[in-house]
Amino acid sequence: MPVLRQVPRAEVTDPVITTYYNRLFGPDRDPVASPGTATGTPGDWWTVFALAPDIFKHAVDGFAVYRHPDRKIDPVLRELGQTRAGWVKGSQFVFSQHCKSLRGLGVSDDKIAAVPHWQVSDVFNDQERAVLAYADCLTAGDGRTPTEVFDKLKTFWSDEQIFEFTYITTLYAMHAVITRALKMEFDNRPDPIVEVAAPEGFKAQDFLSAPRPAES
C-alpha cells in the first residue's frame, strides 16, 4: 500500500479526477476498494495524486505535453529517455511502464532489455546512444552534462528538440522519485539494500579481530 491515504470515488468532486477514474477503472468501480488497471498496475498513482486536484491536473497535463502533436522529437528516442530515467532512478513502475511504451512503438525486445546496460550493448544506433548518454547526464548526473554530449546531440537535433527531451526526461525522473518515495504502484516493495544476517554463532568481535589484507 502507498504510504499516503488514497481518495475513494465517493470523495471525488473534481471533474478531471472523475473523468480519469471512469476511464481507468470504469464508471462504477471504486479504485481504492477494488484496485487494478487494464495495464496490470494497482492504479494507486491516481488515487494518491487525487489528494490534491490541482496537482493531479498538472500531472496529467504533463502526460499530454509529451504526446502532443507539436512535439518534434522521435517518440522512440523520447521513450528511451523516459525508460532510462526510470531505471537510473530505481523506479520499477516508471521503467516497466515505459518498456511497454517502447514495445508499443515497435522497439525490439532485445533493445528494450539492453536499456539497463546500453553502454556495452551494440543494439543501439549512434543517435540512440547519444540520447541515452544525455539521459544519464540528466538523471544520474543531476544535469551535469559535458559539452561533447551536446555537440553530438546537435548533429541530429535542433535546440528545440534538445529542450523537449530535457524537459520530458527530467519530468519522468521526478515521477520516478515521487513514486518510489510514496511506495506507489510497482514501487511498493521492500528496499533491496538491507543488512544480510551473519551465520548463527557469529560474534561481532570475530569480525573486528579478523586479519586484514597486507598493506603494499
Please tell me the distance from the alpha carbon of residue 45 to that of residue 138, in angstroms, as a whole number: 24
Percent of the chain with pLDDT over 70: 95
Write down the pTM of the prediction.
0.90
Q: What is the pLDDT of residue 216?
A: 53
Question: What pLDDT score was predicted for residue 214?
Answer: 64
What pLDDT, in 10s, does the model give residues 92-108?
999 999 999 999 999 99
pLDDT tens figures, 8-43: 999 999 999 999 999 999 999 999 999 999 989 999
Radius of gyration of the chain (CA): 21
Residue in this structure with the C-alpha cell 495524486, named with its chain if needed = 49
Identify the CATH assignment for 71-187 out of 1.10.3720.10, 3.90.1300.10, 1.20.1290.10, 1.20.58.220.
1.20.1290.10
What burial letters (b/e) apply to 60-82, b meaning 16+ CB within 10 Å? beeeeebeeeebebbebbbbbbb
pLDDT at 5: 98
How far is Cα of residue 204 from the mean position of the Cα atoms in its chain?
40
Residue range 65-92: average pLDDT? 96
> What is the domain partition of the chain in residue ranges?
9-65, 71-187
**Rounded to an integer, what distance in angstroms lies between the CA atom of residue 5 and that of residue 73?**
37
Stretch 189-199: mean pLDDT:
89
Instruction: Report whether pLDDT(215) > 70.
Output: no
pLDDT score at 176: 98
For the chain, the average pLDDT equals 94
Query: 152: number of CA atoms within 13 Å, CB side?
Result: 15
Kindly report the three-state secondary structure assignment for every residue of the chain.
Answer: CCCCCCCCHHHCCCHHHHHHHHHHHCCCCCCCCCCCCCCCCCCHHHHHHCCCHHHHHHHHHHHHHHHCCCCCCCHHHHHHHHHHHHHHCCCHHHHHHHHHHHHHCCCCHHHHHCHHHHHHCCCCCHHHHHHHHHHHHHHCCCCCCCHHHHHHHCCCCCHHHHHHHHHHHHHHHHHHHHHHHCCCHHHCCCCCCCCCCCCCCCCHHHHHCCCCCCCC
Q: Per-residue pLDDT for 200 more than 90?
A: no
Per-residue pLDDT band for 213 (boundaries 50, 70, 90) equals low
Q: Read off the pLDDT of residues 34-65 as tens digits, 9 standing for 90 and up.
A: 999 998 999 999 999 999 999 999 999 999 99
* Whether pLDDT at 128 is above 90: yes
Segment 153-193, tens digit of pLDDT? 999 999 999 999 999 999 999 999 999 999 999 999 998 89
Q: How far is CA 4 from CA 98, 174, 184, 194, in A?
A: 24, 18, 9, 23
pLDDT exceeds cutoff 70 at 120: yes
